[in-house]
Amino acid sequence: MCENGSVIITGNVAGDEEGEYTFIGPNGKSTIDYLVTNCHEEEKVQTLKIGQCDSSDHMPSKVELCIEACERQREKDQKEGDSVRRG
Q: What is the pLDDT of residues 55-66, one digit of tens each?
A: 999 999 999 988
- How many domains is the chain partitioned into structurally? 1
Query: Residue 75 in 3-state DSSP?
Result: helix
Provide the domain limits for residue 32: 2-86
Q: Quick check: 84 pLDDT over 70?
A: no
pLDDT, residue 82, reads 64
Using alpha carbons only, give the angle 65, 69, 70 rounded to the nearest 5 degrees.
Answer: 75
Alpha-carbon gap, residue 58 to 67, rounded angstroms: 28
Q: Is the pTM of this model over 0.75?
A: no
User: Is residue 79 a contact partner of residue 44, using CB atoms and an 8 Å limit?
Assistant: no
pLDDT, residue 31, reads 93
Q: How far is CA 73 from CA 26, 33, 35, 48, 50, in A?
A: 44, 27, 21, 21, 27
Q: What is the pLDDT of residues 16-50, one digit of tens each?
A: 998 999 999 999 999 999 989 888 788 888 899 99
